[in-house]
Structures are given as structure tokens and as C-alpha cells.
């Protein structure tokens, strides 16, 4: 009855479960110096399997959430990682084995956990209303202690959220301190209900709107402009009958279009404008903004299925399609019900981020993981950090050298009021050969010159998806200052 992880590609080398919680006071500085203006905490989150999966197989978006924090204080950086004690985690800890089966398929769970939360808290971390929330789109946020990462409890916004889940990609507005968030399949598996919520700076729900989705699909991310919300629907769809037979939670439908719901931030369901586009998909949005009657949405778009491990409903083979930064433009004047589609850069890229102070506004810079010839691929297949300049079209890149990968870059402004893009990128570097990580600080305006500081971790930060920067003043006051 020993614990033995299966020999699957996902667990080989860098992907081997770490299963260790670390506490390191003062990371070793091996290059450069830590800018004194960096005063606050970088939080990130990713999956790390607690016990071997029941099915003997795994996909990279499953597994128990591990939160990582890097606290910057007077040039010192302290590191800590903790698993989130979700209901699922605690039940499995007691049983000393996995009790939850195939990804999000409750019909494959151990009978002893019927009705228990399946949430893994493995995708993102956000700050709202003096609460640090760990997110997975299949369940409600889990509040954790921002200093110790000790798990507190699930957070339903004081009972105001009646949806069964909330997205892992809410939008934090640094100007209003609102959190804009949503739930898809909001009344349970395979339901077509979509709920949009706005929480104020104190974590009170101040706006709520429900509508029906074109199909019960995945909505991983969305975008907001200063005035509008854009929700994309891509044909990765849930089928209850497939679930009951033990099948995958999503299937790709190569015959179905994409849809886009566009509505005012505080709009009503009757105000939704529907657009329809080709069979494409995307995980992640970079930003969106208004230009007169037109809304621009920049996203890492795949000309097909973005998830190899979610099979086609018609049995057709998976067709690889690299993510490419693309602009979809929605015309609200009523001239077209199809968004215009324009490639921004052909270099494959993912995990797009921005200077969050420009969220929803005309903006110049975007940051992402991208391909660079010769750079070794990281967890999600690309080896370099890139900055796109929308004004000039120039893509500047930096790659950490041989045998290294990179994780999603997080932008930190140099100071409140600094111009757009004046600040740093915080990036986890996977040192594959050494099986450990570095945290590097890049000058966002001089990426190509390489890190201004490199902090050496003696341990491996396996894979994290997303995270956020919480300035020290924000932790104290509960407010961001743009
Ligand atoms: C994604 C990630 C998820 C998930 C659904 O990147 C989609 C896409 C980390 O969890 O549950
Ligand atoms: Fe994501």
C-alpha cells in the first residue's frame, strides 16, 4: 500500500510532484541587487499532486493547489510555499490516498466523497477586500492567511455569491479597487447559467447579472474595458451523459462557432450584444479597451483546440495550433455580428499580462511567455519572456539561457504614478539541469539586458499558472493605488 506515482510524462523530470512545503527566510542573492522600491509580496499558485491519481493518469491542470509567496522587504526576499487545505485535500490526507477521480468528473470519485467539494485551488491568487483568495474555476475561492499561507475557509462573499464556483481569472481594478468576476456552469456541472459579479473594495457584492450561455462550455478567462465586459465562449463543451460514463469533462466541437457576449459593466442581461466567430479557442486574455464604438480584445488565440487532453467529440484527431497574440475587434454600432480578427505577432506566446493600472484602457505594453529560437521550452512550451509594444509592433525578448524555462511574468510598477511599463517583471526561472528555481527581477523597459537581480532557490517551484503582486501598502490598507 505504498505511495507510488505512475511513470507518466507529466511527472518526469521537472514535473515530478514536489509534495514539500518550504519556508526560507532570506533567499540567496546570486546576481545584481534587489530594487528597494520592491516592497510587497508576489503570490503564485499551481498544482502539486498530493497522492497518485486514482486513474493512473493526470493532466497538467489537475492536482492540489500549492501557493508560493515571495515577500520583498528592504532588499530581502523571503519564500514560503503551502498546499491549500481544501476539503478535497483534507479528506485525502486522512485517507492517505486520492479520493477524487478524473478531472472534474464527480462520477469517477470514491463513493466516500459524494457531495464534497472537488475544488483544488490550483490556478490563481488574488487580493480583494483585505482577503487573499486562492482560485480554481470549479469551486469557490479559498481564503488563506497572507503572511503564513495557512488556509482559512471558502469565501462566498458573505453569502452573496450563489453560484457554485467563481473564475480563476477575475479582474482587479487598481483604480476602483473592484474585483470583477464570474461563474460559468454556475448552477452545477453542465448547466448553461453564467453569472457576472462585481465585488467592491471591501469584498461586498455590489452588482450581479445572470444569463444563459450558448453552450455549457469552459470560460477560463474574460476581459473588461473601462465601460464594458467581454465574455468569450469557445467550443470546449461539457456533456452530462459523457460524464456519467466516466468521460472527459470537456470535449472539443470542431463544428461549433465561438461566441462573444459584450455588455456594460453594470448592465442587465437584456443589454448583451452577441457576436459569433470561427471555431477557435483561447485560455488567456491580455487586455481590452474601447475606441469609439469599437472594443478591442487582445488574446492568445489558438486556431483550434487549446487543450490536447480534451478530445474531439466527433473522434477527429487533435490538430496542434500555436497560441498567437491576436486582436478581436467588436463593432458596437451594429455593422457586423462577427469580430474582426487581426494577428498582432506570429511568434507563439501564452500567459499574457499587462501593467494592471492600464487594464481596460488604451495601452501600449503587454508581457508574456513566448517562443524564442534556441530557448528551451518551460512548463507550457515556450522558453522566453517577451514584451510587445503595440505602438511600434516590436517584440523584445529575454531567455534565461540553456536548460532553463520561464513562468508567467508579473509586472510591478516602479512606484504609484509611474508611467505605463515603468517597473519590473518578476519571473520564476526553471533551472531544469539543477532541478531548482530562481526568481529573477527584470527591468520591464530593458528586458533584453537580463535580470537586475537573481534570487536562488534551493528548491524547485514545479509549475505555477498565475499570481499577483500585493504591494505592502495594499496589504495594510486593502487598497491598490494606481
Ligand atoms: C486552464 C487552467 C485550469 C483550468 C482550466 O489554462 C483551464 C487553462 C489550472 O486550471 O481548470
Ligand atoms: Fe489561466
Q: How big is the CA angle at 456 (ends 452 and 462), to the nearest 5 degrees? A: 115
Residues 291-302 have pLDDT tens digits of 999 999 999 999
C-alpha distances (whole Å) from 313 to each of 50, 105, 325 are 31, 17, 27
Ligand 1 touching residue 451 (CB < 6 A)? no
User: Phi and psi at residue 156, in whole multiples of 5°?
Assistant: -110, 25
CA–centroid distance, residue 414 to ligand 1 (Å): 30
- In the numeric block, the cell 474601447 is attached to 290
Between CA 329 and CA 320 the distance in angstroms is 25
Number of the ligand 1 atom closest to the C-alpha atom of 465: 9
Structure letter (DSSP) for residue 63:
S
pTM: 0.98
Ligand 1 touching residue 307 (CB < 6 A)? no
Q: Strands 76-83 and 23-24: what pairing? A: antiparallel
The confidence score (pLDDT) of residue 379 equals 84
Ligand 1 touching residue 465 (CB < 6 A)? yes
The confidence score (pLDDT) of residue 380 equals 83
Ligand nearest to the CA of 352: 2
CB neighbour list of residue 102: distance below 8 Å, 6 or more residues apart: 54, 55, 108, 246, 248, 249
Q: Where are the domains of the chain?
A: 9-477
Structure letter (DSSP) for residue 15:
G
- The confidence band for 374, taking pLDDT boundaries of 50, 70 and 90, is confident
C-alpha distances (whole Å) from 432 to each of 70, 88, 379, 429 are 21, 31, 10, 9
Between CA 121 and CA 86 the distance in angstroms is 7
> Is 70 a residue whose pLDDT tops 90?
yes
Ligand 1 touching residue 220 (CB < 6 A)? yes
Residues 376-397 have pLDDT tens digits of 898 888 999 999 999 999 999 9
Between CA 71 and CA 92 the distance in angstroms is 30
Ligand nearest to the CA of 165: 1
CA–centroid distance, residue 46 to ligand 1 (Å): 10
> Is 104 a residue whose pLDDT tops 80?
yes
Structure letter (DSSP) for residue 104:
T
> Is 2 a residue whose pLDDT tops 90?
no
CB neighbour list of residue 477: distance below 8 Å, 6 or more residues apart: none
Between CA 461 and CA 434 the distance in angstroms is 12
CA–centroid distance, residue 416 to ligand 1 (Å): 32
Which CATH architecture describes the domain 9-477?
A: 7 Propeller (2.130)
Ligand 1 touching residue 17 (CB < 6 A)? no
Q: Strands 273-277 and 404-406: what pairing? A: unpaired
How would DSSP label each residue in 278-347?
Answer: -S-EEEEEEEEEEETTEEEEEEEEESS-S-TTS-BTT-PPP-----EEEEEEEETTSS-SS-EEEEEEEE
Task: Decide if 163 contacts 179 (C-beta within 8 A).
Answer: no
CA–centroid distance, residue 444 to ligand 1 (Å): 27
Ligand 1 touching residue 62 (CB < 6 A)? no
More confident residue, 36 or 381: 36
Ligand nearest to the CA of 185: 1
Question: Ligand 1, atom 6: nearest CA belongs to which residue?
Answer: 283
Ligand 1 touching residue 251 (CB < 6 A)? no
The region, left, alpha or beta by phi > 0 then psi within -120 to 50, assigned to residue 401 is left
Calculate Rg over the CA atoms of the chain: 21
Query: E strands of 159-310, at which residues?
Result: 171-172, 179-184, 193-199, 205-212, 223-224, 228-233, 236-237, 251-252, 258-264, 273-277, 281-291, 294-302
> Is 1 a residue whose pLDDT tops 80?
no
Ligand nearest to the CA of 123: 1
Ligand 1 touching residue 61 (CB < 6 A)? yes
Between CA 302 and CA 213 the distance in angstroms is 21
Helix runs in 160-239, H state only? none
Closest CA to 163 of 189, 129, 128, 130: 189
By residue count, the chain amounts to 482
Residues 409-442 have pLDDT tens digits of 999 999 999 999 999 999 999 999 999 999 999 9
The confidence score (pLDDT) of residue 360 equals 98
The confidence score (pLDDT) of residue 381 equals 85
- Considering Cα of 72, then 398, then 309, then 54, what sign does the dihedral take? negative
Task: Decide if 444 contacts 451 (C-beta within 8 A).
Answer: no
Task: Decide if 258 contacts 337 (C-beta within 8 A).
Answer: no
Ligand 1 touching residue 281 (CB < 6 A)? no
The confidence score (pLDDT) of residue 234 equals 98
The confidence score (pLDDT) of residue 466 equals 98
Burial class (CB in 10 A: 0-12, 13-18, 19+), 438: buried
Task: Decide if 202 contacts 234 (C-beta within 8 A).
Answer: no
- The confidence band for 473, taking pLDDT boundaries of 50, 70 and 90, is very high
Q: How big is the CA angle at 93 (ends 87 and 95), to the nearest 5 degrees? A: 105
- Considering Cα of 73, then 77, then 80, then 86, what sign does the dihedral take? positive
Ligand 1 touching residue 219 (CB < 6 A)? no
- In the numeric block, the cell 447559467 is attached to 193
Burial string for 378-416 (b: 16+ CB within 10 Å, else e) reads bbbebbbbbbbebeeeebbbbbbeeebbbbbbbbbbbee
CA–centroid distance, residue 437 to ligand 1 (Å): 23
Amino acid at each position: 500500500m505504498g505511495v507510488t506515482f505512475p511513470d507518466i510524462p507529466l511527472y518526469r523530470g521537472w514535473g515530478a510532484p514536489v509534495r514539500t512545503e518550504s519556508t526560507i527566510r532570506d533567499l540567496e542573492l546570486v546576481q545584481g541587487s534587489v530594487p528597494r522600491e520592491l516592497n510587497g509580496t508576489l503570490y503564485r499558485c499551481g498544482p502539486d499532486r498530493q497522492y497518485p491519481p486514482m486513474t493512473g493518469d493526470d493532466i497538467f491542470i489537475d492536482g492540489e493547489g500549492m501557493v508560493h509567496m515571495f515577500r520583498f522587504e528592504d532588499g530581502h526576499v523571503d519564500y514560503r510555499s503551502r498546499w491549500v487545505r481544501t476539503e478535497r485535500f483534507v479528506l485525502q490526507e486522512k485517507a492517505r490516498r486520492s479520493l477524487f477521480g478524473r478531472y472534474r468528473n464527480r462520477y469517477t470519485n470514491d463513493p466516500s466523497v459524494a457531495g464534497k467539494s472537488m475544488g483544488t485551488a490550483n490556478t490563481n491568487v488574488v487580493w480583494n477586500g483585505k482577503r487573499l483568495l486562492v482560485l480554481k474555476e470549479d469551486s469557490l475561492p479559498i481564503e488563506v492567511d497572507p503572511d503564513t499561507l495557512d488556509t482559512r475557509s471558502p469565501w462566498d462573499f458573505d453569502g452573496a455569491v450563489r453560484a457554485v464556483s467563481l473564475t480563476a481569472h477575475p479582474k482587479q481594478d487598481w483604480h476602483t479597487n473592484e474585483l470583477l468576476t464570474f461563474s460559468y456552469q454556475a448552477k452545477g456541472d453542465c448547466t448553461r447559467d453564467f453569472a457576472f459579479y462585481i465585488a467592491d473594495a471591501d469584498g461586498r457584492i455590489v452588482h450581479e447579472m445572470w444569463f444563459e450561455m450558448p453552450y455549457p462550455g469552459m470560460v477560463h478567462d474574460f476581459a473588461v474595458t473601462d465601460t464594458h465586459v467581454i465574455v468569450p465562449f469557445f467550443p470546449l463543451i461539457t456533456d452530462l451523459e459523457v460524464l456519467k460514463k466516466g468521460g472527459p469533462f470537456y470535449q472539443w466541437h470542431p463544428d461549433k462557432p465561438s461566441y462573444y457576449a459584450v455588455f456594460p459593466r453594470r448592465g442587465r442581461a437584456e443589454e448583451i450584444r452577441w457576436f459569433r466567430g470561427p471555431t477557435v479557442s483561447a485560455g488567456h486574455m491580455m487586455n481590452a479597451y474601447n475606441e469609439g464604438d469599437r472594443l478591442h480584445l487582445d488574446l492568445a488565440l489558438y486556431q483550434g483546440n487549446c487543450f490536447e487532453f480534451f478530445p474531439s467529440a466527433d473522434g477527429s484527431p487533435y490538430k496542434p495550433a500555436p497560441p498567437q497574440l491576436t486582436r478581436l475587434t467588436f463593432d458596437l454600432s451594429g455593422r457586423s455580428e462577427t469580430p474582426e480578427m487581426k494577428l498582432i505577432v506570429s511568434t507563439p506566446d501564452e500567459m499574457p499580462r499587462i501593467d494592471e493600472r492600464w487594464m481596460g484602457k488604451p495601452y501600449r505594453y503587454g508581457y508574456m511567455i513566448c517562443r524564442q529560437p534556441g530557448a528551451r521550452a518551460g512548463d507550457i512550451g515556450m522558453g522566453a519572456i517577451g514584451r510587445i509594444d503595440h505602438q511600434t509592433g516590436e517584440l523584445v525578448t529575454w531567455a534565461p539561457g540553456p536548460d532553463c524555462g520561464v513562468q508567467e511574468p508579473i509586472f510591478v510598477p516602479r512606484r504609484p504614478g509611474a508611467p505605463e511599463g515603468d517597473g519590473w517583471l518578476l519571473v520564476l526561472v526553471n533551472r531544469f539541469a539543477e532541478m531548482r528555481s530562481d526568481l529573477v527581477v527584470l527591468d520591464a523597459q530593458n528586458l533584453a539586458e537580463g535580470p537586475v537581480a537573481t534570487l536562488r532557490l534551493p528548491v524547485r517551484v514545479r509549475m505555477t499558472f498565475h499570481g499577483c503582486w500585493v504591494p505592502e501598502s495594499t496589504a495594510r490598507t486593502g487598497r491598490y493605488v494606481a
